[in-house]
Structure 1
Amino acid sequence: MKLTSVSKSLRKLRIPAVLFRRLAVAALPLLLLLALATGCSLFERGGSSAISHKIDQEEDVISSNGGVISNLDKLDSFMERGSGSQRIVQYTIEGDPIFIETRYEGGRLELSYDTTEDAFGPREVKTYSCDKLVRTEEKHQLKYSLKGCGEDMGDGDLLTVDFDLGRQDKFEFILKYGFNHRNEINTVNQNLVKDMLDGTVIEISDYGLPVEDRQSIYRKLVLSNYLGEKQLSTSCNLKPYQSYDLTVLINSAERHYAWSECDTGRDGKVMTEAAEYIIGLVEAGDSFLQLPAATGSVK
């Protein structure tokens, strides 16, 4: 919206010059209010972004280098709703953020790409329209692909999550769980420990986790954003209570997490789900099933 278009309309009414100037001056405050209310600008924006650059760690889907992707479930919920909007922040290799605003408009998917903070990009904001966003999972990848975007943009992948364990030099973990961490799954030392709930434990040495289970566990951890910062709590007002202690060794890095069943925060729930997934896989395996049933009880 430009001031010049309003001026031309007033001149077509053949209003005397003095009165025209008075009307223009009087109308300017109203035009400013209308611009604020409708989101249009009286003047050119000079290439500035229409998308907020304030990153919301809780609501934005944030994709960083190194496989760290947070709040991926927000994108899934957006697709399921088929309405509203969802923002994605993708960091470049150099660490610059690219902001992508996705929203449903009239049955179509509108995307605004803001690269104004990308030092090596075009530094502009462009909007495209696509038919839909499709989620597909292949053997070692999860893809969110754009379809029916037209010639200006073309179809392509909006976001890709890679969980191919074969691309990692090292992946091991130690999970201690249960009451007082007496159960343990340890792929580093290759042993499995079961709490008999009577003050004793049974241990399996030379325990080997099947390759397909290792791949499945790695996928679960990646989708749980295990490399991201976690807010976890080990406190619990239950007696007794179950707790978890997880150490992941990935390539040359090591990450450690500790929390209790009482941690019902967002990160606590995600990590509990990941831990129980690992436990479920191991306890359904032949090695664990060959162990005798626990003879004691929880006290």
Structure 2
Amino acid sequence: MNVTPDSKLLCKLRIMVVLFRSLARAALPALLLLVLATGCSLFDRGGSSAISHKIDEEKDVISSNGNGVSNLDKLDSFMERGSGSQRIVQYTIEGDPIFIELRYKGGRLELDYDTTEDAFGSREVKTYSCSELVRTEEKHQLRYSLKGCEGDMGDGDLLIVSFDLSSQDKFEFVLKYGFNHRNEINTVNQSLVKDMLNGTASEISDFSLPQADRQSIYRKLVLANYLVEKQLSTSCNLKPYESYDLTVMINSAERHYAWSECDTGRDGKTMTEAADYIIGLVEAGDSYLQLPAATGGVK
């Protein structure tokens, strides 16, 4: 029988296959022992997730590991509706996102818990079922707790927003507002300035904000997620128009925001609500009420 070059190559390939199979059978027990001894997996545990990992800054509730929670109102609306779905993105201390998909199904609350991007987590997706999500506001924190959960999930807190002012070393702020920022609330210099609307201003230089009011204002700012960057606008097509300038000093950090009453964006509305809350609280206090009434024609 003649042996052609092609048949020689085929023989060599067959010999290689046989050798590979023999080596694989011999090495497999040792490889399995290595896996058992080290506790490591031969396969990527991450797998694929049914939850999208594309973060939506407008719709997702985003918890930044102690640096505030964005879009918390979305979670409140979801709970009020009692239908549909809502996603929460929780960042770990290392900066890895954990994705939580909530949905009402069959009269219960179902959630997918996705840790596939958490480098120090189990890197898997698990589904749990609970009877309800409960919102509880305590003295210095807001809790969102899961109740009536089945399986190994257990009842517990899904999200906690803390606004305990006593845990901060420093909290001061300067808020300028009104036409051309002529009004000012300044806890740094302990002063109040009131625009008399006639070209003059009246001032108190020994202003002291009560601790209860400080705590209340701090809570409002935390719920407004004041620590994150805001998309604000100072432009306005009204004449005259009111504008706001807020500087917050928290511990060793400082945040500054400037916007006008014409800013109707999401962040503009949130910051206007927070500023108006501060203004209303201070202007209802004894110190401000000592100031004379404005005499000008423009409020």
TM-score tier (shorter) = 0.7 to 0.9
Asked whether the 8 Å contact 1:190–1:207 carries over to 2, the reply is: yes
Partner Cα separation in structure 1 for residue 85 and residue 119 of structure 2: 26
Asked whether the 8 Å contact 1:147–1:155 carries over to 2, the reply is: yes
Query: Which residue does the alignment assign to 2:263?
Result: 263
Asked whether the 8 Å contact 1:67–1:161 carries over to 2, the reply is: no
SS at match of 2:227: coil
**Residue 148 (structure 1) aligned with residue 148 (structure 2):** yes
Query: Which residue does the alignment assign to 1:121?
Result: 121
Q: Percent identity?
A: 86
Query: Which residue does the alignment assign to 1:65?
Result: 65
Asked whether the 8 Å contact 1:132–1:146 carries over to 2, the reply is: yes
TM-score normalized by the length of structure 1: 0.84
Letter of the 1:112 counterpart: D
Runs of 5+ consecutive residues of structure 1 not aligned to the other structure: 1-44
Partner Cα separation in structure 2 for residue 152 and residue 204 of structure 1: 59
1:2-48, Cα deviation, whole Å (9 max, x unpaired) = xxxxxxxxxxxxxxxxxxxxxxxxxxxxxxxxxxxxxxxxxxx9731
Asked whether the 8 Å contact 1:67–1:162 carries over to 2, the reply is: no
- Superposition misfits of 4+ residues, deviation over 2 angstroms: none
Query: Which residue does the alignment assign to 2:83?
Result: 83
Partner Cα separation in structure 1 for residue 111 and residue 65 of structure 2: 22
Asked whether the 8 Å contact 1:146–1:157 carries over to 2, the reply is: yes
Query: Which residue does the alignment assign to 1:224?
Result: 224
Letter of the 1:113 counterpart: Y
Asked whether the 8 Å contact 1:243–1:261 carries over to 2, the reply is: yes
Partner Cα separation in structure 2 for residue 145 and residue 106 of structure 1: 20
- Structural mapping, 1:34-73, within 5 Å: 47-73=47-73
Partner Cα separation in structure 2 for residue 151 and residue 52 of structure 1: 25
1:110-165, Cα deviation, whole Å (9 max, x unpaired) = 01000000000000000000000000000000000000002421000000000000
TM-score normalized by the length of structure 2: 0.84
Partner Cα separation in structure 2 for residue 65 and residue 122 of structure 1: 19
1:155-208, Cα deviation, whole Å (9 max, x unpaired) = 000000000000000000000000000000000010000000000000001110
Task: Measure how far apart 1:67 and its partner are.
Answer: 2.6
SS at match of 1:227: coil
**Residue 107 (structure 1) aligned with residue 114 (structure 2):** no
Number of residue pairs the alignment of both structures matches: 255
Asked whether the 8 Å contact 2:46–2:123 carries over to 1, the reply is: no
Partner Cα separation in structure 1 for residue 159 and residue 112 of structure 2: 15
- Structural mapping, 1:5-44, within 5 Å: none
Partner Cα separation in structure 2 for residue 156 and residue 96 of structure 1: 21
Query: Which residue does the alignment assign to 1:236?
Result: 236
SS at match of 1:89: strand
1:233-280, Cα deviation, whole Å (9 max, x unpaired) = 000000000000000000000000000000000000000000000000
**Segment drifting more, 173-182 vs 149-158:** 149-158
SS at match of 1:157: strand
Partner Cα separation in structure 2 for residue 162 and residue 67 of structure 1: 10
Partner Cα separation in structure 1 for residue 135 and residue 293 of structure 2: 42
Query: Which residue does the alignment assign to 1:93?
Result: 93
Letter of the 1:253 counterpart: A
SS at match of 2:94: coil
Runs of 5+ consecutive residues of structure 2 not aligned to the other structure: 1-44
Query: Which residue does the alignment assign to 2:135?
Result: 135
CA distance 1:164–1:46, shift in 2 (3 Å): closer
Partner Cα separation in structure 1 for residue 99 and residue 122 of structure 2: 13
RMSD (CA atoms): 1.1
Q: Which has the larger radius of gyration?
A: 2
1:36-79, Cα deviation, whole Å (9 max, x unpaired) = xxxxxxxxx97311110000000000001233210000000000
Task: Measure how far apart 1:290 and its partner are.
Answer: 1.3
Asked whether the 8 Å contact 2:136–2:144 carries over to 1, the reply is: yes
Partner Cα separation in structure 1 for residue 47 and residue 292 of structure 2: 69
CA distance 1:46–1:197, shift in 2 (3 Å): closer
